[in-house]
Amino acid sequence: MKLIFNYNQSNTNHTPQENDVDLPEELKRGSLPLNDVNEIQIIRHYTELSRKNYGIDTNFYPLGSCTMKYNPRVNEDIAKLPGFSNIHPHTPANHAQGALEVIWELEEILKEITGMDAFSLQPAAGSQSELLGVMIAKKYFAEKNETRTKIIIPDSAHGTNPATAAMCKFQTVTIPTDKRGNMDIDEFKKAIGKDIAVVMITNPNTLGLYEENLSEIKNIAKENGALMYCDGANMNALLGISKPADQGFDMIHLNLHKTFSTPHGGGGPGGGSLGVKLFLEDYLPIPRIKKENEKFVFDSNKEKSVGKLHSFYGNFGIIVRALTYIKSWGVDIQKISQIAVLNANYLFCLLKDDFDVPYDRRCAHEFVISAKNFGEKSTINIAKRIIDYGFHAPTIYFPLIVKEALMIEPTETESKETLDEYAKVLKTIIKELQEEPELVKNAPHTTPGRLDEVKAARKLNLRWIPNES
């Protein structure tokens, strides 16, 4: 076949060559209207396009449960070092000692932070870490000849929790949330039994609240032989303050791209990790990295291992960034969570009298409020309107158990002035909802239009139509 582009003759001439590919007539472009522009015009064009994007470098990004915080540039500087950025995945271990040491050292640090006995950085994302944890639980009970078919999950859980259970052929037992935002302990007691393989809990949970009954839940789970699994998406509230292993968990996954500050939003790569207690260590995926006679080697001699999750070893660039971030904080790492929790509680106090508050408790690193008092679809209208004020919307309509929910996570990187301004804007929008509802319902007004997300997700319009003028 020959590929032939018939460019507009006013822009360029093209003579078909022997290696051109011939396309069917209906697929050929009649013309490609490329304008003659100079360098400064090109620069201005792409700079203007970049201004249409929203990112953490431009303003506040309060997406709850996603920890969209500032990524220090030193992380990028280290990750771009030639020895890291140019290393080939097939490099033999004896020629990749520095890279293997980075992975090994980060595993050691994460063990200290969480209290776990072993870590794997092979997972590509938190969701894959979660899958790994349930795979380990499945094999663990199979080797004990125990038939356990169910996993207990709170109704406030992240959607990946029940999805992971289903992928591993487990049934999900959903436990409702009580009036204080905890997993209902009475309903939990009714559900627990010898058929439960895993009790999967996010702590603090997606409501931004610490699980008050965790100790009792742990004791009951252990009495029934179930494993305790921690969804560590919200570890940004616990760094240097509390270790999940001390809370009674047997496994935890961490999102390196959330808690440990690497590019996350806008399609940035994820980075997963799974930590386990000693009795589950041999189930971790191979190859493992171990230190042997002052050298780092791959160890695949693990008969109980669930195998490999994917080719090579995790997202190495994310691992480098995470290690850089942790080492830059050093022994002061608890300040991350202290300030994150302080910021969340401060902003919550600024807003709690203006919104419905389903759980009026001191929060952790994020909080959930409701706009249900302002009518149906008020939350989506607030989220659209806030764009006009130069801010990004918070997470909305999650957790699903809160009607017209807004989940807000300010993170530790935002100043008091930013939080004050964000609260001021939300209060202004509430006033607009009451006095000029159509203004909010038709927002945003500073963008080309109001996007219908459902339609856009199903009917993509990727065709560029040039400006005829």
Give the pLDDT mean for 58-79: 89
* Local confidence band at 8 (pLDDT 50, 70, 90 cut-offs): very low
Segments making up each domain of the chain, as ranges: 1-36, 74-331, 334-457
pLDDT higher than 80, residue 461: no
Using CA atoms, how far residue 399 sits from 156, 253, 314, in Å, is 6, 20, 29
- The whole-number pLDDT of residue 448 equals 79
Secondary structure (H, E, C), the chain: CEECCCCCCCCCCCCCCCCCECCCHHHCCCCCCCCCCCHHHHHHHHHHHHCCCCCCCCCCCCECCCCCCCCCHHHHHHHCCHHHHCCCCCCCHHHCHHHHHHHHHHHHHHHHHHCCCEEECCCCCHHHHHHHHHHHHHHHHHHCCCCCCEEEEECCCCCHHHHHHHHCCCEEEEECECCCCCECHHHHHHHCCCCEEEEEEECCCCCCCCCCCHHHHHHHHHHCCCEEEEEHHHHHHCCCCCCCCCCCCCEEEEEHHHHCCCCCCCCCCCCEEEEECHHHHHHCCCCEEEEECCEEEEECCCCCCCCCCCCCCCCHHHHHHHHHHHHHHHHHCHHHHHHHHHHHHHHHHHHCCCCECCCCCCCCCCEEEECHHHCCCHHHHHHHHHHHHCCCCCEECCCCCCCCEEEECCCCCCCHHHHHHHHHHHHHHHHHHHHCHHHHHCCCCCCCCCCCHHHHHHCCCCCCCCCCC
pLDDT higher than 70, residue 223: yes
pLDDT higher than 90, residue 373: yes
- The whole-number pLDDT of residue 117 equals 98
* Local confidence band at 2 (pLDDT 50, 70, 90 cut-offs): very low
* Local confidence band at 1 (pLDDT 50, 70, 90 cut-offs): very low
- The whole-number pLDDT of residue 266 equals 47
Percent of the chain with pLDDT over 90: 76
Please count the other Cβ atoms lying within 10 Å of the Cβ belonging to residue 16. Answer: 12
Which residue has better confidence, 372 or 263?
372
- Give the class (CATH, top level) of 334-457: alpha beta
The yes-or-no answer to whether 74-331 and 334-457 have a common fold is no
Measured distance CA(210)–CA(362) in Å, rounded: 9
pLDDT higher than 90, residue 5: no
Measured distance CA(332)–CA(352) in Å, rounded: 31
Please count the other Cβ atoms lying within 10 Å of the Cβ belonging to residue 290. Answer: 13
147-156, 260-269, 348-357: lowest mean pLDDT where? 260-269
In the predicted model, what is the mean pLDDT of the chain? 91
**Annotation: CATH topology of 74-331:** Aspartate Aminotransferase; domain 2 (3.40.640)
- The whole-number pLDDT of residue 18 equals 53
pLDDT higher than 60, residue 316: yes
Give the pLDDT mean for 327-356: 97
Give 155: exposed, middle or buried? Use CB within 10 Å, 0-12, 13-18, 19+. Answer: middle
Burial annotation 425-458 (CB, 10 A radius, 16+ → b, else e): bbeebbebbeeeeeebbebbeeeeeeeeeeeeee
- The whole-number pLDDT of residue 455 equals 85
- The whole-number pLDDT of residue 188 equals 98
Tens digit of each residue's pLDDT (9 = 90 or more) over 114-142: 999 999 999 988 999 999 999 999 999 99
- The whole-number pLDDT of residue 82 equals 94
pLDDT higher than 90, residue 310: no
pLDDT higher than 50, residue 4: no
The two three-digit tokens of residue 65, written as one number: 């449960």
* Local confidence band at 53 (pLDDT 50, 70, 90 cut-offs): confident
